[in-house]
C-alpha cells in the first residue's frame, strides 16, 4: 500500500474525523463512547499541534498521528502521541510509519519522553508495535478500560507506556 505522510490541513480534517469516529464505533481503543463533531476534533487538534496523516495516491487518508504535550506546566516536557489507522488500512505498515514519524517530530519538539496513558491491554498489535520502538509498559490500571456499553460492560486492563527520548 503506497502512501505519503503529510501534515493535516483543513482539507484533510473531515477524513480524519471519519477515521476517528469509525475507531470510536469499534469501541476497543479510544475512551469516547459517542462520535466526535468537527468542533470536538478542532478542539482536540489545535492548529499549533502537528497531526501527520498517511495519505494514499488518491488522496484518501489511511491514518494519522497527533503529537502534543501529555500535560502542561511542570509536566509539559513529556509528550503524548495519539494514533489512528483506519480498519481497512491496517496490517500494511501504516502504524509503523506513523510511529516512526511521530518519534522524529517529538524529538524535534524537544520532548524528554513520551507517555501513553491508555493503551488497552487487548490491543496487542499496538503494544507490540510500540515495544518494537523501545516503549515499555511502566504501569497498569487493573480493569481500567471498559469494553462494551456502560449497561453491559467488560473491564480490561489499561497500560501506561513510556519511552525516554533523551
Q: What residues make contact with a second copy under the rule CB under 8 A?
A: 27, 30-34, 71-78, 112-113, 115, 117-118, 138-147, 153, 155, 158, 160, 162, 164
Which of 11, 107, 21 has its CA nearest to residue 53?
11
Please, which residue, 2 or 152, has the CB nearer to a second copy? 152
Please, which residue, 27 or 93, has the CB nearer to a second copy? 27
Which of 19, 114, 28 has its CA nearest to residue 61?
19
Please, which residue, 31 or 134, has the CB nearer to a second copy? 31
Rounded distance between C-alpha atoms, residue 141 and residue 159, angstroms: 6
Shortest CB 6 distance to a second copy, Å: 29
Question: On the CB side of 73, how many CA atoms lie within 13 Å of its CA?
Answer: 1
Shortest CB 126 distance to a second copy, Å: 15
Shortest CB 7 distance to a second copy, Å: 27
Beta-bridged to residue 166, according to DSSP, are: none
20 and 67 in contact (C-beta within 8 Å)? no
Please, which residue, 100 or 122, has the CB nearer to a second copy? 122
Amino acid at each position: 500500500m503506497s502512501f505519503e505522510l503529510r501534515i493535516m490541513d483543513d482539507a484533510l480534517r473531515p477524513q480524519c474525523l471519519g477515521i476517528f469516529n469509525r475507531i470510536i464505533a469499534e469501541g476497543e481503543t479510544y475512551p469516547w463512547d459517542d462520535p466526535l463533531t468537527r468542533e470536538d476534533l478542532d478542539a482536540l487538534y489545535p492548529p499549533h499541534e502537528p497531526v501527520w496523516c498517511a495519505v494514499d495516491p488518491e488522496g484518501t487518508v489511511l491514518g494519522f498521528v497527533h503529537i502534543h504535550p501529555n500535560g502542561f506546566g511542570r509536566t509539559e516536557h513529556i509528550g503524548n502521541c495519539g494514533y489512528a489507522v483506519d480498519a481497512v488500512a491496517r496490517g500494511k505498515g501504516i502504524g509503523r510509519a506513523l510511529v516512526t514519524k511521530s518519534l522524529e517530530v517529538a524529538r524535534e519538539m524537544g520532548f524528554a519522553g513520551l507517555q501513553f496513558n491508555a493503551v488497552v491491554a487487548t490491543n496487542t498489535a499496538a503494544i507490540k508495535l510500540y515495544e518494537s520502538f523501545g516503549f515499555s509498559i511502566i504501569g497498569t490500571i487493573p480493569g481500567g478500560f471498559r469494553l462494551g456499553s456502560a449497561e453491559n460492560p467488560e473491564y480490561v486492563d489499561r497500560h501506561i507506556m513510556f519511552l525516554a527520548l533523551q
